[in-house]
Structure 1
């Protein structure tokens, strides 16, 4: 009897695995799924993906599958069957059909921490309205007439305290957080903004953790920090709402004022807090990483750094004595800087791609993506593809010069996404990075304090926060 029970216990799980593979194979043939490998039951290929992104070179995860199956392949990651695309035309199709064939879909940990009213999770007409509002506060004319002076001032203010050894990534994060707080709520740097930033660090750490407070200390800490951030922002919102309702109250030219002034019943305090919280995350994490990696790539490419120095020294030499501040005409006279910005965005890939969910069965390139399946449009795979960029994995800012013949169509270079969810702060990020590089190059010389390397999980960053030794120039 005991032997029979043992045989049954052995037979049942084996039968379930066989049944799983038979059903999966049959469904694949019927739906004409892209070729690929769904990996082990339930786990899929998640462990292989995470293992790849914990190395200095995560490319083989996609490279091996593209070589075997082509630029569109099927896998199973983070608990769901997923179609990966390393094809620029397919990526463009995915982002352009947001809200029609695909909808945004993010892990529960990110959704819970950002809040249901964040721009990242909004859909339909509300998303369109709020995306438009956000872009109206970050377009070229607004940056030129209102934001540039604050960007320049806050960059210089932070650099005034730099001495000897600094962690460049930490310093860049301080700068970008203070800039974002100023643009959203008109707050200058101080104890309040620095206290808020420290809580934000804990919130972001929880993005890629298991969204179960009982089992994840990181997630539990992130939830507590999120509550503190929301409380601090709620206090500011209530205060500003009271001021805006008072006759003769001073109106401020920032995002919070625009949210409070919106008609049609306006937004609740909770909606505004979620919206501001998500924008602070967006402005803080990505731009600061780009700043750090630009310096790292330039330090490792002396010829590019020398040409960039020449461009910025020329700008400084033309300015009147004692006028350090940059003006819009200075920004527009940085052609090689823009090549450096483009190449940093292309190589770094802070946003490596976007997840979407199919809203219906979708036929594309001879395959069918079933309704409910995840898709991942990989911008990184396209940016680092030698078919699109010569020596694609080498930092080469000269490829962007107009006479190089390296100009590429929009669907090949997509560092800010595309379609209805194109990053609304794309121009602002370029200006912030350009101003940062100008003052770094004209005020300091530097050398790496120790060897540092890139890591890509859970986010793209340097392993040691890129420590450098700075020396102030005369």
Structure 2
């Protein structure tokens, strides 16, 4: 017993000395104010427990009030500087590749693959980002993608019963759209089998990346191998077709040829790249679709105005006539709804980066190798930047493209800088077309109460079950 007490005393004294030395070192470094919490654990447990509440930003709210909008903490095993300041966020985004580099948890990096766009750096990232944007710009959407977006969304809605889990239904839609746009595949058994594996992959994103300790991560790794195997087979077949002169005008076709002919990407690189693009085109857009419907359901005046806008478009068309680009450009209130859903929901709450050198921000120094987190959600939900910031109000965007009298730094739902989301316009079109067919074909009520949760991502607890009735 005496020996145990002796070692416990040594441990406690060591911990106290560690904390004192760390505090002294931090004062010398002129770090942003804050608290690194317990040794090794930091404030990770406080962060996770905070997001179990209904407050969308409790962890940052509390610390920003105490320390200011830029503060120091220690989460997920590393000292991290959090920013809820729009100017600092813009500085971080604009200095990607200069003062900062992308940095994500090991679980996400392992599951997406080392050749994913999210993890690419330097010139290769610039080239691949530019290529991705070229396949999701307005002219491509207008001339090539819109007809399939409209067709596949209508096909899905035609199969709906009188009760659905909207989140699951939306995910099915966006996955089928992504597969069609990337590989020219129409929905079928193959795409549905692939989607089921994807669900398991995404569940592993915010787990401990050790298969021995996490069953969820083990399942995710296994599912990722299945996804990679299925995509590898398609890439191999398409490469053989390409070499015979058979070309398809989709993303996979561009990755196999075009500007890459002198510096061909390997099959492994293409598979990793497509794994990440399928995630990007599937998970986030479907969540915005679902939450837009949830917020509209809770805001009857907004839903009524949205129906009026889309009924007006539908009256000009025959029953089976699809939407045209001019119809999409005639949906101003729809864009207000999408803007506000993006602002309130914050599917991408922020981005992690790592400093590549000591960085000076607002009189503070962030040491080389430290992580920073630029919080978009904290800015979007700040009453200083948006009036009644935590209330869904699509009319705030009606006469102001930013919904605020301040600069564009305050509204960054798609990130910014060199890593601006390349599919932002495509996502808007898909959501707009989905809302059009939903409100012109159905009325609905929630089947049961469903709440938002914000960790590890924004979503509804019960996948938003609704009872549907077809409109006459």
Query: What aligned pairs does 1:53-202 form with structure 2 within 5 A after superposition?
Result: 53-202=51-200
Q: Against the structure 1 CA distance between its residues 403 and 273, is the aligned structure 2 distance closer, same or farther, given a 3 Å change threshold?
A: closer
Q: Secondary structure at the match of 1:363?
A: strand
- Aligned residue pairs, count: 469
Q: Please give the alpha-carbon distance, in whole angstroms, between the structure 2 residues aligned to 1:7 and 1:153.
A: 72
Q: Does 1:344 align with 2:341?
A: yes
Q: Please give the alpha-carbon distance, in whole angstroms, between the structure 1 residues aligned to 2:129 and 2:51.
A: 31
How far has the Cα of 1:55 moved from its partner?
Answer: 2.2
Q: Which residue of 2 aligns with 1:385?
A: 382
How far has the Cα of 1:403 moved from its partner?
Answer: 6.2
Q: Please give the alpha-carbon distance, in whole angstroms, between the structure 1 residues aligned to 2:416 and 2:456.
A: 23
Q: Please give the alpha-carbon distance, in whole angstroms, between the structure 2 residues aligned to 1:15 and 1:409.
A: 50
Q: Against the structure 1 CA distance between its residues 89 and 403, is the aligned structure 2 distance closer, same or farther, given a 3 Å change threshold?
A: closer
CA contact (8 A) 1:52 1:58 kept: no
Q: Which residue of 2 aligns with 1:306?
A: 304
Q: Which residue of 2 aligns with 1:254?
A: 250
Q: Against the structure 1 CA distance between its residues 402 and 58, is the aligned structure 2 distance closer, same or farther, given a 3 Å change threshold?
A: closer
How far has the Cα of 1:64 moved from its partner?
Answer: 1.2
CA contact (8 A) 2:208 2:214 kept: yes
Q: Secondary structure at the match of 1:411?
A: helix
Q: Which residue of 2 aligns with 1:363?
A: 360
Q: Please give the alpha-carbon distance, in whole angstroms, between the structure 2 residues aligned to 1:66 and 1:7.
A: 40
1:220-266 Cα distance to aligned partner (Å, 9 max, x none) = 1111100000000000000000001114x2x2110000000022221
Q: Please give the alpha-carbon distance, in whole angstroms, between the structure 2 residues aligned to 1:111 and 1:48.
A: 24
How far has the Cα of 1:361 moved from its partner?
Answer: 0.6
Q: Please give the alpha-carbon distance, in whole angstroms, between the structure 2 residues aligned to 1:58 and 1:298.
A: 19
Q: Does 1:453 align with 2:451?
A: yes
Q: Which residue of 2 aligns with 1:218?
A: 216
Q: Which residue of 2 aligns with 1:372?
A: 369
1:402-435 Cα distance to aligned partner (Å, 9 max, x none) = 1697354221000000000000000000000000
Query: What aligned pairs does 1:275-294 form with structure 2 within 5 A after superposition?
Result: 275-294=273-292
How far has the Cα of 1:84 moved from its partner?
Answer: 0.3
Q: Could you tell which deviates more after superposition, 45-54 or 433-442? A: 45-54
How far has the Cα of 1:60 moved from its partner?
Answer: 2.2
Q: Does 1:399 align with 2:379?
A: no
Normalising by the residue count of structure 2, what TM-score does the alignment of the two structures yield?
0.98
Q: Could you tell which deviates more after superposition, 190-199 or 457-466? A: 457-466
Q: Which residue of 2 aligns with 1:267?
A: 265
- What residue ranges of structure 1 are gaps of 5+ in the alignment? none
1:276-332 Cα distance to aligned partner (Å, 9 max, x none) = 00000111100000000000000000000001111011111122x234310000000
4+ residue runs over 4 A deviation: none
Q: Against the structure 1 CA distance between its residues 385 and 241, is the aligned structure 2 distance closer, same or farther, given a 3 Å change threshold?
A: same
CA contact (8 A) 2:51 2:58 kept: no
CA contact (8 A) 2:138 2:425 kept: yes
Q: Please give the alpha-carbon distance, in whole angstroms, between the structure 2 residues aligned to 1:218 and 1:201.
A: 11
Q: Please give the alpha-carbon distance, in whole angstroms, between the structure 1 residues aligned to 2:209 and 2:72.
A: 26
Q: Secondary structure at the match of 1:84?
A: strand
How far has the Cα of 1:7 moved from its partner?
Answer: 4.7
Q: Please give the alpha-carbon distance, in whole angstroms, between the structure 2 residues aligned to 1:170 and 1:198.
A: 11
Q: Please give the alpha-carbon distance, in whole angstroms, between the structure 2 residues aligned to 1:422 and 1:293.
A: 22
How far has the Cα of 1:456 moved from its partner?
Answer: 1.4
CA contact (8 A) 1:102 1:357 kept: yes
CA contact (8 A) 2:357 2:369 kept: yes
Q: Could you tell which deviates more after superposition, 425-434 or 10-19? A: 10-19
CA contact (8 A) 1:400 1:407 kept: no
Q: Secondary structure at the match of 1:459?
A: coil
Q: Please give the alpha-carbon distance, in whole angstroms, between the structure 1 residues aligned to 2:233 and 2:378.
A: 43
How far has the Cα of 1:52 moved from its partner?
Answer: 1.4
Q: Please give the alpha-carbon distance, in whole angstroms, between the structure 1 residues aligned to 2:327 and 2:209.
A: 46
- What residue ranges of structure 2 are gaps of 5+ in the alignment? none
Q: Please give the alpha-carbon distance, in whole angstroms, between the structure 2 residues aligned to 1:7 and 1:47.
A: 27
Q: Please give the alpha-carbon distance, in whole angstroms, between the structure 2 residues aligned to 1:323 and 1:332.
A: 20
* Equivalent of 1:329 in 310, 322, 326: 326
